[in-house]
Amino acid sequence: MLAELSYERGTVVIKGDVHVPHAKFDPRSKVYRALAYKYRWIIDYFEQSDVEYEDNVLDLIPSPYFDAEIDLREYQERALERWLRDKWGCIVLPTGSGKTHVALAAINEISAATLVVVPTLDLIDQWKEKLSIFGSEYVGEFSGRVKELKPVTIATYDSAFTNAEKLGNRFKLLIFDEVHHLAGESYIQIAEMSAAPYRLGLTATFEREDSRHKLLPEVVGGKVFELKPGELAGKHLADFTIKRIYIPLTEEELEEYRKRERVFKNYLKARKIVIRSVEDFHKVVMATGYDERAYDALRAWDEARKIAFNSKNKIRKLREILEKHRKDKIIIFTRHNELVYKISKLFLIPAITYRTPKEERQEILEGFRRGRFRAIVSSQVLDEGIDVPDASVGVIMSGSGSVREYIQRLGRILRPSKGKERAVLYELISRETGEVGTARRRRNATKGTA
């Protein structure tokens, strides 16, 4: 019997007396039904089983044949070739190594309706500029600002999630920039509710601390190609050195740090909690809702961290680094805004935080690009999604144990440029504090020289 396939609200509906291993029987409507991402597998099964079928699932936005000239480096060609084998999977390349170029080549090869999903509006603007090689008239934006569907459409994760049913059968190729975001509890529905048979994920760091990256192979594919910064240094990226500097707290700071650390450790001991993972720490956070001692412990832990992050000796060391590299472009990274503003005021360095208006941020970055400012200081807003001008020195004043954050920060100083002989990333780590363990967790992120 002929099978009939159609798309309905994020699902593929299969009518007919056929066995469909990738779908479940819906007794209410008496049809087989599957989440839309399984469309590709259902078609493969029908083809291999010689099942006759009528396919009405995809309603693709008409697209011209793309024939843009895209020059790829050798490793980018290898990445594209690996992806083209199945047209399914994730490419993991360091920040600054040209992941977007690989995606442009993939769009060129497929030449069909494509949806590019990105985390921020800034990235929409950057992608628009790069996609203009296909003709600006073929590039659309689907966000809170504009909602237009064109042969190549760029959407934010938020807009793609909110409109997942509407977008689910309009595209043949899905590209997820910073694909680790897709594994979020809500965003993964973008992939699940889409029937697009071809999928490409891009990121500098595939793994997530909460381990939800393990969900990605099912809906977009696992890693098909990966290179780390050390594997590209010296040829396609700048050579780099990582210098970890362990800095003592002052006597007063160390006394205050240990006092607060004891409060936190005593709570863990009393409640028999052992911190081995992010999930274990979240148990303490959740307990603050009903356990007053948990709230006090968490506050003490936060205060201890701030002492380590903001130590006087770190500021002195930063002054030495700024003096040593006064002819270089420097980006200073911190964990919290409080330290950003302190450094900005002390050293008269422009600051960028989430509070910085877009126009001011662009003015600061342009001034940094042109050499008007030789240093900028920022919290996490420069880690991802913003096109940061080239720098040769990075200073991590404070950060998390996240490999992703670390790779993103390292990537900010690895773009090759005229006159750059070697990039340097300084990590300033407070001795005898939790920062030592945090730095240890980051060490395997690269193959750089310690």
Is a pLDDT exceeding 90 seen at residue 224? yes
Residues 162, 23 share a domain: no
The whole-number pLDDT of residue 447 equals: 46
Q: Is residue 32 part of a domain?
A: yes
Q: Is residue 345 part of a domain?
A: yes
In this predicted model, what pLDDT tens digit does every residue of 190-206 receive, in sequence order? 999 999 999 999 998 88
The whole-number pLDDT of residue 401 equals: 58
Query: What are the φ/ψ torsions at residue 339 (nearest 5 degrees)?
Result: -75, -30
Q: Is residue 178 part of a domain?
A: yes
330-367 burial string, b = 16+ CB within 10 Å, else e?
bbbbbbbbebbbbbbeeeebbbbbeebeeeebeebbee
Q: What is the CATH number of the domain that holds 24?
A: 3.40.1170.30
Residues 335, 256 share a domain: no
In this predicted model, what pLDDT tens digit does every residue of 331-371 receive, in sequence order? 999 988 889 999 999 999 999 988 888 889 889 989 998 88
Residues 37, 114 share a domain: no
Among 293, 309, 325, identify where a domain stops. Answer: 309
Residues 261, 205 share a domain: no
Q: Is residue 64 part of a domain?
A: no
Say whether 281 sits in a helix, a strand or coil.
Answer: helix
Residues 23, 88 share a domain: no
In this predicted model, what pLDDT tens digit does every residue of 382-433 receive, in sequence order? 655 566 767 889 999 987 656 777 777 787 777 766 656 788 889 999 999 9
Distance CA 366, CA 389 (A): 8
Residues 325, 219 share a domain: no
In this predicted model, what pLDDT tens digit does every residue of 243-264 receive, in sequence order? 999 999 999 999 999 999 999 9
Residues 47, 135 share a domain: no
Say whether 139 sits in a helix, a strand or coil.
Answer: strand
Residues 441, 324 share a domain: yes
Instruction: Tell which residue, 343, 394, 388, has the closest CA to residue 367.
Output: 388
Q: What is the CATH number of the domain that holds 410?
A: 3.40.50.300
Contact at 8 Å (CB) between 329 and 367? no
* Domain membership of residue 256 as a residue range: 251-309
Q: Is residue 406 part of a domain?
A: yes
Contact at 8 Å (CB) between 202 and 97? no
The 31-35 sheet, strands edge to edge: 24-26, 31-35, 11-15, 3-8, 53-56
Percent over 70 (pLDDT), the chain: 93
Q: Is residue 428 part of a domain?
A: yes
Is the whole-model pTM more than 0.85?
no
Distance CA 410, CA 405 (A): 9
In this predicted model, what pLDDT tens digit does every residue of 133-169 receive, in sequence order? 999 999 999 999 999 999 999 999 999 999 999 999 9
Among 227, 261, 283, identify where a domain stops. Answer: 227
CA angle (423, 424, 426) in 5-degree steps: 160
